[in-house]
Amino acid sequence: MNLTKNANGNGGAGGLRSARDRFSLDPLRDWWASAPGAVRWAVYLLLVVGALVLPSEAIGSFMAPSGSDWPSMLSSQIAIYVLLAIGLNVVVGMAGLLDLGYVAFYAVGGYTMAIFATRYGWNFWESLGLAIGFSALAGVILGAPTLRLRGDYLAIVTLGFGEIVKRTANNASYVNGPRGVQGIPHPPSLSEFEILGVQPLKYGLLDARPYYYLLVLFIIVAIIFVKRLERSRVGRAWASIREDEDAAELMGVPTFKFKLAAFAIGAAIGGSGGVVFAGQITSINPQNFEFLVSALILAGVVLGGSGNLPGVMLGAAVLAWLPERFRFLHDYRMLIFGAALVMMMIFRPEGLWPSRQRKAELAEGTGGMGSMGAEVAGPGQPGAAAVEEGK
């Protein structure tokens, strides 16, 4: 079987490549790279306004046609997933470390909020600061003895850490074991002022929109923080570790220190998501922190374009939204959901919105995942040649 002919555009792989090229985002990137500062700020402002009007009924009638509560879906699934994906992208996309136990930090944040709010009377904001600190500490505790491992070994260790946190919560009488913690207070309402019929700072059970707006605030802060890091010496060190850790170490980059920082920062962002989640649903238990959450967040990062912040946010949002969009199909919705993911990865194997650097790394055959062990053969490399020759 000779795939070389197909690669030249005569159907098969060539046709697939042409289809991918038609959906290329390179023209948009070129426009954005040359856009003046005023245009960029106008786009940022429009995106924020778009995020604020997203819970409206007109949009919800299309996004959730099965009658699901669209604001609840936004706050408890889509926005939470986006925030978690931003945190996991620091570890996976920027530093190239495969973490399968990310849900553990989400759980640490949620349980910190639950324990200190119900037992010691701490309010939401006090618990938030403590939860972020505990989650970052959990990242250091996990990373310190394990970050000398790479690839599959690191993935297994992080997977085990996620299960340890869940099993500990399930068997600890201090947090009521499998029954979990109830009576977690909502965030304190800051005022009663109203905008277009919405009280965005009044938190309760009936209206999910204030939690969504709170998560939008967290997402904006996380984006600013991560983008600042990405453009700093820290971000350059993470990129060098992701591309070739051995070479980075030989060039004098203290790889262990920067990998530990990536784990702590990613964990802190995940912990903040757990605090909002606990404050909204007022009751958490170990079943809220299954491995499936880690898998879905990781899938969102890869699907969107690992390493590219807008891409991972888009991937996480799509991944959280699609099952609900197909809910009217009942038992077949997960089948359609899986088929949609497969089609996305066929037409966009580097992700829905990959970074230029990530695309270049894939073209070179490194895969851009460094220690993730996800290297793929690129054009001109032995592996690629074997495929083309049908060997």
DSSP-assigned letters across all residues of 11-31: SHHHHHHHHHHHT--HHHHHH
Which residue, among 367, 331, 336, 323, has the nearest Cα to 349 in the 3D structure?
Answer: 367
Give the Cα separation of 220 and 366 in Å (integer): 32
pLDDT given at position 110: 95
Give the Cα separation of 10 and 18 in Å (integer): 10
pLDDT given at position 359: 67
What percent of the chain has pLDDT above 90? Answer: 40
| Other C-beta atoms lying within 10 Å of the C-beta of residue 326 | 18
List, in sequence order, the alpha helices (H) in 69-203.
70-73, 79-89, 103-118, 124-146, 151-171
pLDDT digit string, tens, across residues 328-362? 777 777 787 788 778 877 777 778 888 777 667 66
Over residues 80-98, mean pLDDT: 93
Q: Is the pLDDT of residue 115 over 90?
A: yes
pLDDT given at position 18: 63
pLDDT given at position 364: 64
Q: Is the pLDDT of residue 82 over 90?
A: yes
pLDDT digit string, tens, across residues 139-186? 999 888 888 887 788 888 899 999 999 999 999 999 999 999 999 999
What percent of the chain has pLDDT above 70? Answer: 85
pLDDT given at position 346: 79
Over residues 100-112, mean pLDDT: 94
Over residues 304-332, mean pLDDT: 85
pLDDT given at position 257: 93
Give the Cα separation of 382 and 279 in Å (integer): 53
Give the Cα separation of 389 and 123 in Å (integer): 64
Q: Is the pLDDT of residue 390 over 50?
A: no
Over residues 201-214, mean pLDDT: 87
Residue entry with tokens 């250091």:
140
Most confident of 105-119, 182-196, 371-385: 105-119
pLDDT given at position 16: 59
Over residues 187-195, mean pLDDT: 78
pLDDT given at position 184: 93
Q: Is the pLDDT of residue 384 over 90?
A: no
Over residues 22-27, mean pLDDT: 70
Q: Per-residue confidence at 323, pLDDT binned at 50, 70, 90?
A: confident
